[in-house]
Amino acid sequence: MNQHLDNGLLFMEFAAVVGAVIAGVIWLYLKIANVGVTLIWHVIPAHLHVPGYTIIVCLIGGLVVGLFHQIYGPYPQSMQDAVSEVRRRRRFSYANMPLILVGSLLPLLFGGAVGPEAGLVSLLLGFCFWTKDQFAMQRLLMLRLIDEDPDVSRGYVFGEMVKGLLLPASKIYFPKNVLPWKKTEAVAAGVAAGVSALIVYEVLNKVFGRGLSIPHLEVTHVSAAGHFAAILLIAVGFGAGYLYLIGHKITKFVFSFLVDRNLDIINAILGGLILGLIGTAVPMSMFSGGNMIQSMQYEYLKLTPFLLILIGVLKLFLTNVCIESGWRGGQLFPMLFSGLSIGYGFAQLLSISELYAVVLVTTALIATVFQQPLGAIVLSAIILPTEYVGWMIVAGFVAGCIPQPESIRLNPENTGFVDRIATYARSIRGIEQKR
């Protein structure tokens, strides 16, 4: 009994190390992105005054991104593709995680209007399955070493297990008939890894500073007059979502000529040129938008309402341009920023509460694009005050439940929230009838 307890504690210590490794990699990824953007876009131009700096850097970025994809392939996957792979294969390959890291960092460093979430989702999914395999392999190793020599040093066993973390993916192997885990053991290992990851991540943030982070906006008062504008603001968010979807189809059609001919370098350079030209005229239309969300809350009054709306629309356009030209990344952060900018613009035009307008426009925009009302509500709540959750629910379900023409859907197979609910209801009814 005591030896079993000792083995359990030893494995929990190993699980804590695994969690610390994962936290360290994620923190380093975000930190490199933050430091790199600061260096390229703030430090260097402050000391090196070059005409057309933005265009030059974006063209260099296009060349680097294009060469990377030409040599190594299209990394990272989109969030939808990564999740679909897990659903389809019940696995996610972690062999190419270094390429996912580099591939997702490059567009961020060179000012691409894409978010880090695509790379982060792929990394987290990869780490989930890497952790699962490491746990299976190292647990088997621990039991074998202790079984061969009951007096073996626990330090030696622990060291041998930790060495396994350095193995390449091709060397991670274990028989499929591994001794079954007790539920308490599996839960304890998972909790140990999770707690360790959170602690290490926060310690690194405290000691070395945060990398890219998720901002959260502060609540403001909603005037009574603002409530009458709800329908208009939801319609604005819905319209912005359709602009994004139509822009997606147009840019996909334009850039597909180069993609089909395997001209990844020219494709990415063209995307960089468009990014640089628009970014030179409207700098806030570049980058993921994550780090600019918080500052926008205090600086929007310096901008005219029409400029705010233009920035939001250009961000939506550039996100499509970047993704389709090979500057691969996430859509969520740029979309949040676009909703914020457009919402502030209409708040000024209508003389209503700013964050109230932002909540309705942003949630409706996300719900329209992804056809996921519940997902849009959760994602909006990441940065928007939870005091507005009622309005998030209204905007999310109104915009997210309107069916989209198949021709403009991001995923043609996504028939919409209402159709999915109806299909689910029919399947339940069919099961009950068979009974």
Structural contact between residues 376 and 382, judged by C-beta atoms closer than 8 angstroms? no
What is the reported pLDDT for 364? 93
pLDDT band at 242 (very low <50, low <70, confident <90, very high): very high
Residues 6+ apart with CB under 8 A from 216: 382, 383, 384, 385
In this prediction, residues 273-280 reach a mean pLDDT of: 94
What is the reported pLDDT for 434? 59
Q: Is 320 helix (H, G, I), strand (E, B) or coil?
A: helix
Q: Is 353 helix (H, G, I), strand (E, B) or coil?
A: coil
What is the reported pLDDT for 2? 45
CA distance 108 to 383: 20
Mean pLDDT check: name the lowest of 168-172, 200-204, 362-366.
168-172
Mean pLDDT check: name the lowest of 82-96, 330-344, 409-423.
409-423
pLDDT above 60 (res 357) = yes
What is the reported pLDDT for 217? 61
What is the reported pLDDT for 404? 81
Pick the more confident residue, 430 or 173. Answer: 173
Question: Helix H segments across 39-169?
Answer: 44-47, 53-72, 79-89, 97-109, 117-148, 154-163
What is the reported pLDDT for 396? 87
Q: Which domains does the chain have, with CATH numbers?
A: 2-208 (no CATH), 224-422 (1.10.3080.10)
pLDDT above 90 (res 67) = yes
pLDDT above 60 (res 226) = no
Pick the more confident residue, 93 or 214. Answer: 93
Residue-averaged pLDDT of the chain = 84
CA distance 173 to 189: 20
